[in-house]
Homo-oligomer: A and B are copies of this chain.
Amino acid sequence: MTPTLAQKVQLVAADASFILEAGGRIAPVEVEFETYGTLAAGRDNAVLICHALSGDAHVAGWSADAEAEARPWRRRKPGWWDEVVGPGKAIDTDRWFVVCSNVLGGCYGTTGPAATNSATGRPYGLDFPIVTIGDWVRLQALLMEHLTIPRWHAVVGGSLGGQQAIEWALAFPERVARCVVLAAAPRLSAQGLAYNAVGRHAIRNDPNFKSGQYYSGLAPAAGLAAARMLAHITYLSEASIDAKFGRRLQGRDRPAFNHDVEFAIESYLDHQGKAFVERFDANSYLSIIRAMDYYDAATWGGGDLVAACARIRARVLVASFTTDWLYPPAHCRAFALALCQAGRPVTYVDLPSPYGHDAFLVEADRVGALLRDFLAAPEVAHG
């Protein structure tokens, strides 16, 4: 399957402005997105997939050549959820019209910190306004109108994508029939805030960061790589790191005894850091982790999660993974319980998996089976 080429559309004109939850405004706003499959005549087969922190709109298939030329990292592998999305797959693009857009503040075509700030004529950098998951979703709602889709058959996401799915069900209850929340909780734990704080610190204090105005010079690669390496550890589990790497040396029988890469796990993380700085912008990373920090679904209920959940009209599927310690099962279960207490229909599954947070991607077969069934589930009847 070749997906459509990524499309870009200006959803907020230069003379309008998109007012943000935190109080700022941005204009113009462009959104880059991809679609897969065909919108049915009844416009009732649209599925929105929301990407996670370092993901993008390119969900499935290999990019077209022109695309790959412009974004070389895409050439190496197919879309990030290619095992789940495509013709005949769990999210069957022969049946569903799949939409995925790059988030506001990111670095993959949707307006973000590298865009030109019309007030100064130079890139926003760290002056890019704070955006929230609520803002991301409201911008996706503008895209939805642009695509003339009245209601999503389903909104689906994992991790930060799962929080977008939650926000969709809360902010636009009438426009979401089904909501799938994988490896995501209504808010980040204090430990999660702590990891983001270290990543933020590493980036902002990298001497090359220069208050975010580094676009004409060296990027803060050391800080961004450190942030990514650290985050990557939180995506794995102790057991999966141990099984995959243990204390094995990298390509040697005996230690070299130096400060270079010595253990296999170091080599792996080093590679993750290096690859990430080639494809991600540090200011976008800061923008996105701040959105992750601030998100709290309970805000819709004045701090009361059950009151918030009462707004929801969608049928909800929540899946956690036993060894996920970034969005631990207990936190995901709390969301499912709040939905129950609010009298909303919810299916909650805690999938046994050794792969930690990454399980929502790694366990593609089992997640796919859940999704296939859930997309076929009847809508909730509202009296």
Which residues of A line the B interface, CB within 8 A?
Answer: 22-24, 126, 130, 187-191, 193-195, 197-198, 200-202, 204-208, 221-223, 225-226, 229-230, 233, 238, 241-242, 245-247, 255, 257-259, 262-263, 265-266, 269-270, 273, 286, 290, 293-294, 296, 325, 328
Contacts and interface: CB of A to CB of B under 8 A. Distances in A.
A37 to B, nearest CB: 38
A229 B198 contact: yes
User: Interface of chain A, helix or strand or loop or mixed?
Assistant: helix
Given A241-B190, A242-B190, A265 B197 contact: yes
Contacts of A23: 257
A257 B187 contact: no
A177 B382 CA distance: 75
Nearest to A126: B259
**Which of A208, A225, A226 has the most chain B CB atoms inside 10 A of its CB?**
A226
Contacts of A262: 293
B207 A208 contact: yes
A187 B247 contact: yes
Contacts of A223: 202, 222, 226
Contact of A238 (B205, B265, B325): B325
Nearest to A286: B259
28 contacts: A126-B259, A130-B257, A189-B238, A189-B242, A190-B242, A190-B246, A190-B263, A191-B233, A191-B241, A193-B245, A193-B247, A193-B265, A193-B266, A194-B265, A194-B266, A197-B265, A197-B270, A198-B226, A198-B269, A200-B266, A201-B225, A201-B226, A201-B269, A202-B223, A222-B223, A223-B226, A247-B296, A255-B294
| Copies per assembly | 2
B270 A233 contact: no
Nearest to A269: B197
A22 B206 CA distance: 33
A241 B188 CA distance: 13
B22 A255 contact: yes
Given A191-B233, A207-B222, A226-B226, A293 B263 contact: yes
Contacts of A22: 255, 257
A205 B226 contact: yes
Nearest to A218: B207
Contacts of A269: 194, 197-198, 201
Contacts of A266: 193-194, 197, 200
Given A190-B247, A195-B233, 16 more contacts: A22-B255, A190-B242, A190-B246, A191-B238, A197-B263, A197-B270, A198-B226, A198-B233, A200-B266, A201-B226, A202-B202, A206-B207, A226-B226, A255-B294, A257-B294, A263-B293
A188 B23 CA distance: 47
A197 B24 CA distance: 38
A63 B169 CA distance: 60
A296 B262 CA distance: 15
A201 B261 CA distance: 10
**Which of A197, A205, A225, A270 has the most chain B CB atoms inside 10 A of its CB?**
A197
**Which of A187, A188, A201, A221 has the most chain B CB atoms inside 10 A of its CB?**
A201
Nearest to A258: B130
Contact of A226 (B189, B202, B207, B238): B202
Contacts of A195: 233
Contact of A200 (B188, B201, B205, B259): B259
A245 B258 CA distance: 38
